[in-house]
Structure 1
Amino acid sequence: MTDSAKVDARIAVTFTDHCFTRDRRQGDAADLAFPGCSRDDGVFCLQRYHHSLQAPAYIRDFHRAVAWNLKGDETYAVIPTVTQDGQAQHYAIIFSLDRVRGVEGIDLHMRVRTAHPRTERDLTTYGSIRFAHLVRLRRENQRPRRVYDSRRRKPRRP
């Protein structure tokens, strides 16, 4: 993609199994267990899997997106989506974005830590940044500033 300084950046994207698994719930069938899951007792989640199939397309469109700052080194992208029954909801893609050294043709590595519909409580965010500018900052080994003001912008519920 082209960052906010009009410099082309190549981004390698990887996904964890959190994008299509969830914690086990009472009553889950034994065959939903996901062997080698990064969760302690993770199971395959049809809802998350269904949404994860769209995640690559969402990420390709990030050049138009706003990312929201979270704690730590992870950033939160909120994508408006529609549930299977037609209800508006947010789809959260939580990722880190780091410079890559020593790999020809790759500037940044996006690690998608988890991606899922945000039906539960909101995440605490510390301001937003256009994704193209985030790419520029990370390419320059800088991080976006966090906003702690109580009146800071927050992702709005659909």
Structure 2
Amino acid sequence: MGYWPEHIIEGERLDLSHVEPFQLNCYVKNLDRTLCLDVVFSNHCFTEAFKEGEHAPALKIMDGSSPRAFDRRRYALSAHLPGLVRSLPGAAVWQTPTERNYMYFMALIDGSGRDYQMFFHLKKEKGSADLRLRVESAYSVERAGALIKSSTKVRFPVLCQKVFQNQLLRFHTKR
């Protein structure tokens, strides 16, 4: 058994091997070193809020003491997450309004005109890695533009540097 407990959805064992934890290296020029990041995923990447009467009890997956509902679309899209995370060292990310999470997205190539948003939290790690990146949630939206228009972006290695050095990263909200 891996990181995830076994989940049986509609009689089938849910394969979550693509969202198993892994390590990611990110070279930070300003530190002249490579930081090691432990990457983990929340079940919000393949579930949505559970609503009594709307979701079948068989779709229930617990997130601690909170019920969530398996979401086939989020689950299918979650196959993109490892690649999205691995692309972060060369990317820019946006701060979310909660100021503790960051967002990165890609355009879906399914002809839908939708974007796939990934929300993550980054913190200093106590252990074998330098930082811990937790993918908090990921889902498709019409366009990520509204969120990114109201925030500024930062290169991911700069974000890693600031978190590693316990420095505040000041984002300026656009109005």
TM bracket (short chain): 0.7 to 0.9
Match of 1:90 in 2: 115
Q: What do you get for the CA RMSD once the two structures are aligned?
A: 2.2
**d(CA) in 2 for partners of 1:78 and 1:144?**
20
Residue 90 of structure 2 aligns to which amino acid in structure 1?
R
Query: How far is 1:93 from its partner?
Result: 1.1
Q: Distance in 2 between matches of 1:82 and 1:140?
A: 37
Question: Do residues 66 (structure 1) and 92 (structure 2) align?
Answer: yes
Distance 1:88 1:149 in 2: 25
Describe how 1:2-41 pairs up with structure 2 within 5 A. 2-5=27-30, 6-24=32-50, 27-34=54-61, 36-38=62-64, 40-41=66-67
Choose from 120, 145, 149 the match for 2:170. 145
Any gaps of 5 or more consecutive residues in structure 1? 151-158
Instruction: Among all aligned residue pairs of Structure 1 and Structure 2, give the percentage whose two residues are the same amino acid.
Output: 22
Q: Distance in 2 between matches of 1:27 and 1:120?
A: 26
Q: TM (normalized to structure 1)?
A: 0.80
Per-residue deviation, 1:38: 4.6
Q: Which structure dedicates a bigger proportion of its chain to strand?
A: 2
Alpha-carbon distance in structure 2 between the residues aligned to 1:38 and 1:120: 31
What is aligned with 1:136? Answer: 161
| Aligned structure 1 segments of 4 or more residues deviating by more than 4 angstroms | none
Structure 1 pair 123–149 and aligned structure 2 pair: CA distance change class (3 A): closer
Deviates more, 1:46-55 or 1:135-144: 135-144
User: Is there any run of 5+ residues in structure 2 with no aligned partner, and where?
Assistant: 1-25
Q: Distance in 1 between matches of 2:168 and 2:120?
A: 14
Alignment partner, residue 49 of structure 1 = 75
Q: Relative contact order: is structure 1 or structure 2 higher (C-alpha 8 Å, sep ≥ 6)?
A: 1
Contact in 1 for aligned 2:152/2:174 (Cα 8 Å): no
Corresponding residue of 1:111 = 134
Aligned pair in 2 of structure 1 residues 120, 87: CA closer, same or farther (>3 Å)?
A: closer
What TM-score do the two structures reach when normalised by structure 2? 0.73
